[in-house]
Structure 1
């Protein structure tokens, strides 16, 4: 059962909640203006719904790295679940904006043999995840 040991468990970064909260706060501020009260209700409602959808996405999205496989789960309405054997991985790429470097989040793209591409956006600690995956690939090759 050594192959089942979890080496890395990753979730999405809290930054995904930023825009829903900003829209909600903007809606609250618009509610203070009598002439814009309907727009305020619209923004507040949209912010709440967006936050709930984002939370459900956060809750159900993850990446698990084990010695023999990577398990990737994303999405809510269209659930994507991938079980990738370590020996079927060709490359692991990171896409990280400047603000992602500051707050330690980014996207990870895993390319499998045969050109299959798996990815997860806004992952917390993407560089750590890539480093661990590359170590596991290296250890498996030896």
Structure 2
């Protein structure tokens, strides 16, 4: 949240802050569980299953670290003047969309997204399209943008 607070303009105040949904971590957790199950099989019974489990465990760990970095480096907020979307820790991608020039804000939710209340927000501005997946309660985000537009 530090990035957004540091880049507020005079008279600008934060109206809504979006969070990333816990569903972001489902895939790495499944990989870690499957990998741990397969890797725990004794080598004497099936060496191939054991090593495949270690490989899946490795991919699960890499995926978990990558998604932790995504969670740490992402900030999404609506202020009374603009929409601020920032991703990245080392390299940064930031979109500041002035509310008056908001062209499009699309929300895509799968069946699981509707059940668990998360989705992908796609922002369209000046022909540039940016997508931000695993946003918790994306309809509240859109509702706040529409409220601020007037």
Q: TM-score, length-normalised on structure 2?
A: 0.83
Q: Provide, for residues 17-65 of structure 1, a one-character-per-residue CA deviation record: whole Å limited to 9, x for no partner.
A: 0010101110110022221211121111211111011111111112110
Asked whether 1:66 is paired with 2:105, we answer no
Tell me the equivalent position of 1:12: 20
The worse-fitting range, judged by mean Cα deviation, of 129-138 and 70-79 is 70-79
Asked whether 1:132 is paired with 2:138, we answer no
Tell me the equivalent position of 1:123: 135
- Match 1:104 to one of 110, 117, 131: 117
1:119 Cα offset (Å): 2.6
For residues 23-102 of structure 1, the aligned pairs below 5 Å read 23-34=31-42, 35=46, 36-75=49-88, 79-102=92-115
CA RMSD, 1 decimal: 1.8
Bigger helix fraction: 1
Matched residues in 2 for 1:65 and 1:33: separation?
Answer: 50
